[in-house]
Amino acid sequence: MSPALTDGVCDDGAWSSYTLENALVFPGPASFTYDPVSANAGANALNSGTVTIACTKGSAPSIGLNNGLWAGLGSAGPRAMRLGATANYLGYDIYWPGTTTPWTTAAPYVPSAPPSKAARTFNMDGAAIAGQDVAVGSYSDTVTATVNF
């Protein structure tokens, strides 16, 4: 039997389906307490956050994190948090879970393929870099997570 052409679409009677590789990303916040005078004069302030993703079963996701809104503006580290609308920045970085490998879009974290569509949570380890002379206050940054397949 030869395929039939209907409305410009070749129909050979076969049915097929393609499941899209898809993901939902739920980032979690992380926070640091930074003491530039004593505790963090010579040691990084460490903490963890999380990123939760729900992907199609069997997909091959990679999770990249950009360098945030204030990248490179701190006196140390590739990322920076900003004190309100000032020119004061606190340098920091985010690492793959349990490592000191910087987590970026160029070096995304690649977890194992998901066994189901259920959401999985991954740690993000972070460090506010030691030795910075920063003003007192609440610093913040926004980092975007991108999932590629």
Q: Is residue 32 part of a domain?
A: yes
86: domain CATH number is: 2.60.40.1090
Q: CA-to-CA distance for 141 and 72, rounded, in angstroms?
A: 12
**In sequence order, what E strands does the chain have?**
4-6, 9-11, 23-27, 45-55, 62-65, 79-83, 89-95, 120-128, 139-140, 145-148
Domain of residue 47 covers 21-148
**Does 9 fall in a domain?**
no
Q: Is the dihedral of CA 138, 136, 47, 91 positive or negative?
A: positive
| Sequence-ordered alpha helix ranges (H) in the chain | none
User: In this structure, is residue 6 part of a structural domain?
Assistant: no
Q: Is the pTM of this model over 0.85?
A: no
Mean pLDDT of the chain: 81
Distance CA 67, CA 32 (A): 17
Cα R_g (the chain), whole angstroms: 22
Between residues 16 and 93, which one has the greater pLDDT?
93
Asked whether residue 11 is domain-assigned, the answer is no
Per-residue pLDDT tens digits for 36-57: 999 999 999 998 888 888 888 9
pLDDT tens digit sequence for 87-105: 999 999 999 888 999 999 9
- Find, among 78, 97, 96, 99, the residue nearest to 141 by Cα: 78
- Pairwise CA distance, residues 149 & 146, whole Å: 10
pLDDT average, residue stretch 111-127: 90
Assess if residue 40 is contained within a domain: yes
Q: Is the pLDDT of residue 12 over 80?
A: no
Number of domains composing the chain: 1
